Amino acid sequence: MKIIKELLDERGQRPIHSVGPDDTVFTAVTLMVDKNIGAVLVAEGENIKGIMTERDYLRFITTQGRTARDTPVRELMTKKVIYVTPDTELNEVMNIMTAERIRHVPVLHDGGLLGIVSIGDVVKQIGQDQEVHIRTLEEYINDPYPGPVANGAAG
Ligand code: AMP
């Protein structure tokens, strides 16, 4: 089973989009729409303060009397961020996402952030790996060599 580092290498480096805790919800959602992403990291300089996703915004719009332009991200974000590391196996990442009901995980290495991985990235990578695995098995099954030995020569 592949590890997160291999997924990041194959997917390619992508910018990590973040907002500050005092930025407005409107700013965060605009960034998500512009970049076509489902989550933004909330950071103050190098310090990660939380994560905000589409789900948080959906919850927010059902609250009364607040607008996205006058509410800071810190009021919506999840403060306790769940991370993975580059050596985490993909099935472990799936287990974490399923158990925690989250679809985004930052990848942390030596205190630095390598990227954010979404459930879509993980499912895509696992699917591709399974396809390769199936093709290899099919080739193995269909390969006639060494094949049955003629005239009972063996044994
Ligand atoms: P998601 O399914 O990723 O849209 O997120 C569902 C909920 O989990 C939202 O409240 C997010 O703020 C929160 N969440 C998403 N990713 C993480 C994460 N890596 N660590 C902690 N909370 C998260």
Residue spans of the domains in the chain: they are 4-142
Find out whether the beta carbon of 118 lies less than 6 Å from any atom of ligand 1.
no
In the predicted structure, residue 149 carries a pLDDT above the cut 80 = no
Distance, in Å, from the CA atom of 7 to the CA atom of 12, rounded to the nearest integer, reads: 8
Residue-wise pLDDT tens digits, 80-97:
999 999 999 999 999 999
Using the atom order of ligand 1, give the atom closest to the CA of residue 105. Answer: 19
The finding on whether 54 has its CB within 6 A of some atom of ligand 1 is yes
Instruction: Pick the closest to residue 84 from 108, 101, 103, 100 (CA basis).
Output: 108
- Residue pLDDT, tens place only, 113-133: 999 999 999 999 988 888 887
Q: Kindly report the pTM of this predicted structure.
A: 0.85
Q: Is 48 in the pocket of ligand 1 (CB under 6 A)?
A: no
* Residue 5, both tokens: 């580092």
- Residue 150 pLDDT: 58
Residue 42 CB less than 6 A away from ligand 1: no
Q: Which of 23, 70, 31, 69 is nearest to 50 (CA)?
A: 23
CATH topology of domain 4-142: CBS-domain (3.10.580)
The CB density around residue 20, as the number of other CB atoms within 10 Å, is 16
List Cβ neighbours of 22 (8 Å cut-off, separation of 6 or more).
72, 73, 74
